[in-house]
Amino acid sequence: MLFDEEKAKDIVEKYGLSKNKIAVWRSNNNIPNKYNKKEYSIYSDMANKQIPIIRKQMFKIMEARKLKLVVVNDICGFPKNKLSREIQKKGVLKYDEYIRLIENINSLKRQTEKALEALKSKNKNCLDNYFNNEMLNLMALFENNLIIYTKITQSRKNARKSFPFEYTNDIERCLFTLLLELKLIIIYLYYQAEFSTL
| Coil vs helix vs strand at 117 | helix
pLDDT computed for residue 44 by the predictor: 65
Nearest CA-CA partner of 115 in 101, 133, 100, 103: 133
- Taking the C-alpha atoms of residue 94 and residue 198, their distance in angstroms, rounded to an integer, is 10
Question: Cα separations (Å) of 191 from 59, 74, 186?
Answer: 15, 23, 9
Q: What is the pTM of this model?
A: 0.73
pLDDT computed for residue 43 by the predictor: 60
- Taking the C-alpha atoms of residue 174 and residue 143, their distance in angstroms, rounded to an integer, is 8
- Taking the C-alpha atoms of residue 194 and residue 188, their distance in angstroms, rounded to an integer, is 10
- Taking the C-alpha atoms of residue 63 and residue 173, their distance in angstroms, rounded to an integer, is 19
pLDDT computed for residue 33 by the predictor: 79
Contact at 8 Å (CB) between 157 and 149?
no
Mean pLDDT by 10 residues, the chain (198 residues): 86 79 88 73 65 77 86 91 81 87 95 96 94 94 93 90 92 95 89 72
- Taking the C-alpha atoms of residue 184 and residue 189, their distance in angstroms, rounded to an integer, is 9
